[in-house]
Amino acid sequence: MPRLTRPAPPPDADARRAMPPVVTYAVENLPPVDFAFLARLREGMETIDEVIVPPREAGAFRVPAGHVFRVVSIEGPQVGDLNLWNAADPTEHFWSGKTRALAGTHVGVGDRLWSNLPHLRPLATILHDTLGWYGFDADGAGVHDVIGTRCDPYTNRLLTGTDYHHCCHSNLTRAFAGATGRSLAEAEPFVHDVLNVFMCTGFTADTHRYFMKASPVRPGDFLEIFAEIDLLGAISACPGGDCGSTHSSDAVRCHPLRVEILRPRPEALRGWAPAVANPYPRSHGVTG
Ligand SMILES: [Zn+2]
């Protein structure tokens, strides 16, 4: 496909490109993460519930504030597309974009999962990650991205002209509808950009395009997340399986995921309180 030619660079192009990068948000001003508290939480947690998410389906689960959920790889490498909602008001949900802007393209232990405006509070905090060793590889890829949106049947129709009904978007829509008693049409707008649990992704060095590669996750690996408010969650076992080749079809091998709900010891939660909504008064500069 022919590409547009680039305009000739101006004489001071090198100088313009040499300006130093500045991290966009002063994240050092966020409330500090209490890693000692997070470590204490993990001691003596008790499993109180679990959900098995079948391949190419999604499962919904509820996590009371101050509890933990654990996404576990079982049977084989599998990526999970995660949505989180405020259980009391699902119009408040995980905001992948702001989480990316504050924490980076991939999340790990101590990173908070922020909610959309006008709430902007940590819905959850990542507690433990058995893939924390991975870091960024030679391709620039990391795990647990907040870049991708979720595979969906609309993009699939656009790119292939065919319909596939087990994309993560549809799986999450059915799961949210089932969990909340809403119709599919009512449920669909609540589905939002995901946290790609276990997915290994980055941007290509030459064109900065979003790429994926086979997830390093193996059975027994898990990601633990602490609920900062009462949460409704849903996770889709992506039809891409380990997302090493393709998605939005039945072409690749997929595996189930297990979600465990865990209760920390009451004494481990001493001094902790659920996250409160952002105090910005919402006047937007208009007085009276
Ligand atoms: Zn997917």
Distance 183 CA to ligand 1 centre (A): 22
Query: For residues 278 and 288, what is the distance between their CA atoms, to the nearest angstrom?
Result: 22
Range 210-236 burial, b when 16+ CB lie within 10 A, else e: eebbebbbeeebbbbbbbbbbbbbbbb
Distance 234 CA to ligand 1 centre (A): 13
Distance 172 CA to ligand 1 centre (A): 10
3-class DSSP state of 279: coil
Distance 151 CA to ligand 1 centre (A): 4
Query: For residues 55 and 57, what is the distance between their CA atoms, to the nearest angstrom?
Result: 5
The pLDDT of 114-142, averaged and rounded, is 98
42-94: per-residue pLDDT in tens?
Answer: 999 999 999 999 999 999 999 999 999 999 999 999 999 999 999 999 999 99
Q: Domain segments of the chain: what residues? A: 46-267
pLDDT-above-90 percentage for the chain: 95
Query: For residues 119 and 125, what is the distance between their CA atoms, to the nearest angstrom?
Result: 16
pTM of this prediction? 0.96
CA quadruple 149, 180, 49, 81: dihedral, nearest 10:
-10
The pLDDT, as a whole number, for residue 2 is 62
238-264: per-residue pLDDT in tens?
Answer: 999 999 998 888 889 999 999 999 999
Distance 266 CA to ligand 1 centre (A): 37
